[in-house]
Homo-oligomer: A and B are copies of this chain.
Amino acid sequence: MAAPRNLIAVEPTSRPEMHLAMASAVQEAGGTVVPIGEASSLMFADPTAADSFPELMAQATNVEWVQLPYAGVETFVQHLDPAYTWTCGKGVYAPPVAEWIMTALLTAFRDIPTFARAERWPAPTGRNLLGTRLAILGGGGITESFLSLIEPWGCDVTVVRRQTDPVLGAARTVTTDELDDVLGRVDAVIIALALTSETQGIIDTGRLQAMRNDAWLLNVGRGGHVITDDLVNALRNNEIAGAVLDVTDPEPLPDGHPLWELDNCLITPHVGNTPAMGLPLIADRVRENVTRWIANEPLVGPVDVGLGY
């Protein structure tokens, strides 16, 4: 027997701020927060608690839809049962992450790490982002949001993705087959992909060698997109200008790791979207989707169970 669509569970409670934000959003959308045994759907409220998912779902007799809290769903992949409708935070966190990409590009090109570490007046170095050639790997919401932010800069942006569907604001969209050619032509390579078996380790020694010596690598996808040891070698040998990494493998990067020592590497601690930035954004998504769910309308941010993102 199907549960009334307005009865919605928000679980677990292990992350109180997210639980509160999601529960408030459910109520604002006209839903009622109930235990999972009575619920038509589940707002999963702790991105670090994927392991507790099977136990929680064992109590769910009528759940038809599951809303996940993050854009990346890789920790939930083994739980993605096609019997349910799945949605995630896809697109929700795109503007802050796109802002991180702009920050990282400007930080790198304008030599901010050198200046931040200086204890006396340094040499006047730096180059412009204006008018440069960039490649971004991935054609999702982050890329769309980034393209809107970089528009006034007059850059030539190539999007590299699985299919060639054009992305608004890009100079061109190519498939991953052409990645090596693109790498040799751009001033910066930005990884904004979902992590799948196809994209795991996509940046390795060969790909780093395909890049220009004066090009920067940015990673705001997942640490697993880059073979860390290969990157350390490329940075040590100045085969690329440098790297700005918001995600690392392993993550967090352990004390004493060689990347901490390299002047041409800047680590940011997975802050493309911080909890403080993201909470109001995921609450907006929950409010939107609960409204749609109760009205029996299509949900935003569907997860393709077959593709795993």
CA distance A245 to B117 in the complex (A): 15
A253 at the interface (CB under 8 A from B): yes
* B121 with A112: CB separation less than 8 A: no
Q: Contacts of A276 on B, CB cut-off 8 Å? A: 127
In the assembly, how many copies of this chain are there?
Answer: 2
Q: Tell which of B106, B130, B148 touches A152, judged by Cβ atoms closer than 8 Å.
A: B148
Which of A119, A125, A274 has the most chain B CB atoms closer than 10 A to its own CB? A274
Determine how close the nearest CB of chain B comes to the CB of A43; give it in whole angstroms: 23
A266 at the interface (CB under 8 A from B): yes
* B267 with A124: CB separation less than 8 A: no
Q: Contacts of A117 on B, CB cut-off 8 Å? A: 116-117
A212 at the interface (CB under 8 A from B): no
Which of A28-36, A92-100, A223-231, A292-300 is found at the contact surface with chain B? A92-100
CA distance A76 to B127 in the complex (A): 28
CA distance A107 to B252 in the complex (A): 22
Q: Contacts of A84 on B, CB cut-off 8 Å? A: none
* B271 with A124: CB separation less than 8 A: yes
Which of A99, A252, A267, A268 has the most chain B CB atoms closer than 10 A to its own CB? A268
Determine how close the nearest CB of chain B comes to the CB of A281; give it in whole angstroms: 10
CA distance A113 to B124 in the complex (A): 18
Q: Contacts of A277 on B, CB cut-off 8 Å? A: 126-128
CA distance A38 to B299 in the complex (A): 77
29 pairs of residues in contact across A and B, judged by CB atoms under 8 Å: A99-B129, A99-B130, A100-B110, A102-B102, A102-B106, A103-B107, A106-B106, A107-B107, A110-B268, A110-B271, A112-B268, A115-B268, A116-B116, A116-B117, A116-B266, A117-B117, A118-B260, A118-B267, A119-B255, A119-B260, A122-B269, A124-B274, A125-B271, A126-B274, A127-B276, A128-B277, A148-B152, A149-B152, A151-B152
